[in-house]
A and B are shown apart, each in its own frame.
Chain A
């Protein structure tokens, strides 16, 4: 393939780039970082903040590097006095509209505007502060997301995220010119619009305008209360990203240090969501087989394909967007909520603590889990099943607040019971992981043999392609599953809600070729979740995914049905998958929601 090359000069260095390369990318290839605010690798070009302006010989104006393609013979200066003056003015103007109370801002030290203002020495107020004339109220209506327009610089990364990656458009640009602002339909509170609480906007907001609702103080209070027994669980994707909050490069697994840190923080029981993920697989794999039996043998009108239910952002999305198709969603609660229902029933009894004195905390890569924990129906234990949810970011803050030197911690292990897990559980954190874990178990239940993939690694469902599919032929099945003999089980995986919509549209027109579909609301799955360390991009998410699969490879047990604690739980308490106790504690129903 012969790609046309463009020759240009950047800061005195001759270079050539393929046609279509922007000046921003061309400069990056020359190891020059042009500052950006509205630009984000995951999103389309906006060119509205103007921070990336550069000087081009013979051009009257300074073009935005992010939105200008390299052209033959261009002579570009990325750091001339004119460029610096312009950038300083632009930053000064942005700061004049921004509530610059950095000492009270959650994003302080991880704010892109703060970084640039510091880099360019915006050390006095050049422009009149426009904020003083406005009365801003922080929208804290949502369980998951806080929105503070006084910190918004109108770069519209959140708007593009919500539209392009998630196809939700809960946020959009309203009015124009000086009045322009980013808001919801008629400024409705975030809790009353189609927002799925996925938090992808938070991950891309350059300032503190969009943040997760924090529960750090409540967690400290609970830990400090001698009456309370505080149980903590950590989701699979947290252990491959928490390090980024504490000085590690992306992709470092810190499972042992995380367990040690949680004990140090003072949690009474340090347990693992992965245990509940294995349990979810047991219930979900059996639900799939049960649905297939009822459809194929009993001739019942059961919705197929079945879709996964682990991702609360996805659940809220389908409730808003496709309320007529909720029957396709597995009735299994997510691992967080299965864990919650067990912590205040079976576990409480096992450790001899009154469930009303248990405070159940979960650490999630997710903002939507905060919403999920507060859904009205999530109290099957007789109490609110999960009391407090914090993100990977919040846990990073807590570890820093406690003065723990994280890098020097010795590895520790999760406590028992509900601390054992398998490789199948940890891969829940990456897109395709739930599917892979479910297939490892479902195939073995039906055939009595391991899945026919090299080393249990079901490669076709892995990767970062938006929608992926795979087929597994069921042969020589066990007698009780004879109706599945020769059936080709067809599955699909989608991540990001725009991709989820694509899969849903096939279901709407009755043309879905699949039996089972995994959906994760966030791009790349939970490793790219709305509660994960900022920044995010494809490269960082890829590193986290690799760490997840390494964690799986290193586990002794890699199939959910072989988790010894899960086996014990069924023997001792639940009976069997889809049994009566499971039905009461581990399964749920969904709610139709409006689309405004």
Chain B
């Protein structure tokens, strides 16, 4: 049995048990736990009376519903063409250098994971990235190092 204070219980309680509530529930659990584990998905399925494979299918469709354990802060660097043309690659290199990890990896202290994302709608202020839900725009290699530094404070 799931504990009453489990993230899944709380999310289902808050949003509801119908099929249409599945996405908000998954987003809520992901916010609480930073990623969706195998048991989170089967727990959501059981709580909502859905099939585990189906919930897995929905969760795997969306990049932002992570199925892998990540660092506490997830950096999403925009990889779409406008940001690319304004130097997104240099941003990525600067982040790799600052964090001492490669794209897709998590720092050894579990603080950051470095990923790419498709367009996040900040083309006019590229290059852009998200850290968790917070957008950062008009980036330069120097600026991202400062931003990382702030998170490290």
Binding site for B on A (CB under 8 A): 163, 168-176, 183-186, 193-194, 595-596
Contacts and interface: CB of A to CB of B under 8 A. Distances in A.
Contacts of B46: 595
- Best-surrounded residue of A171, A176, A184, A186 (most CB of chain B within 10 A): A186
A169 B61 contact: no
Contacts of B60: 174-176
B21 interface: no
23 contacts: A168-B51, A169-B50, A169-B51, A169-B53, A170-B51, A172-B57, A173-B57, A174-B60, A176-B61, A184-B53, A185-B42, A185-B51, A185-B52, A185-B53, A185-B56, A186-B41, A194-B52, A194-B53, A595-B45, A595-B46, A595-B52, A596-B45, A596-B52
Contacts of A595: 45-46, 52
Interface residues of B, number: 14
B54 A186 contact: no
B67 to A, nearest CB: 9
Rank and list the top 7 A-B pairs by shortest CB-CB distance, nearest first: A169-B51, A172-B57, A172-B53, A185-B52, A185-B53, A596-B52, A169-B54
B56 A194 contact: no
Contact of B61 (A163, A175, A184): A175
Given A185-B42, A595-B46, A172 B61 contact: no
Contact of B38 (A163, A184, A186): A186
A108 B129 CA distance: 51
B53 A170 contact: yes
A595 B53 CA distance: 10
A336 B99 CA distance: 64
Contacts of A176: 60-61
Interface string B19-54: 000000000000000000010011001100011111
A146 to B, nearest CB: 18
Interface of B: 38, 41-42, 45-46, 50-54, 56-57, 60-61
A594 to B, nearest CB: 9
A186 B51 contact: no
Nearest to B46: A595
A190 to B, nearest CB: 11
A171 B57 CA distance: 9
Given A172-B51, A176-B61, 11 more contacts: A169-B50, A169-B51, A174-B56, A174-B57, A175-B60, A185-B41, A186-B41, A194-B51, A595-B46, A595-B52, A596-B45
A171 B53 CA distance: 6
A186 B52 CA distance: 9
A596 B55 CA distance: 11
- Best-surrounded residue of A168, A595, A596 (most CB of chain B within 10 A): A596
- Best-surrounded residue of A174, A183, A184, A185 (most CB of chain B within 10 A): A185
A193 B53 contact: yes
Binding site of A, secondary structure by majority: helix, strand, loop or mixed?
A: loop
A27 to B, nearest CB: 33
Contacts of B53: 169-172, 183-185, 193-194
B54 A172 contact: yes
A147 to B, nearest CB: 13
A186 B37 CA distance: 10
A176 B65 CA distance: 13
Nearest to B50: A169
A210 to B, nearest CB: 15
Contacts of B61: 175-176
A579 to B, nearest CB: 42
Contacts of B41: 185-186
Contacts of A183: 53
A168 B54 CA distance: 10
Contacts of B45: 595-596
A183 B53 CA distance: 8
A175 B52 CA distance: 15
B43 to A, nearest CB: 10
A174 B54 CA distance: 8
A284 B42 CA distance: 37
A174 B41 CA distance: 13
Contacts of B50: 169
- Best-surrounded residue of A168, A172, A183 (most CB of chain B within 10 A): A172
Contacts of A163: 51, 54
A530 B114 CA distance: 47
A9 B16 CA distance: 49
A173 B55 CA distance: 10
A253 to B, nearest CB: 39
A341 B42 CA distance: 38
B106 to A, nearest CB: 21
A531 to B, nearest CB: 23
Nearest to B62: A176
Nearest to A595: B46
B50 to A, nearest CB: 8
A368 to B, nearest CB: 19
A224 to B, nearest CB: 42
A184 B42 CA distance: 12
B143 to A, nearest CB: 33
A356 to B, nearest CB: 42
A163 B41 CA distance: 18
Contacts of B56: 172, 174, 185-186
Contacts of B38: 186
A183 B42 CA distance: 15
- Best-surrounded residue of B41, B51, B60, B61 (most CB of chain A within 10 A): B51
Contacts of A186: 38, 41, 56
Nearest to B67: A186
A183 B45 CA distance: 16
A170 B46 CA distance: 14
A175 B63 CA distance: 9
Contacts of A175: 60-61
A174 B42 CA distance: 15
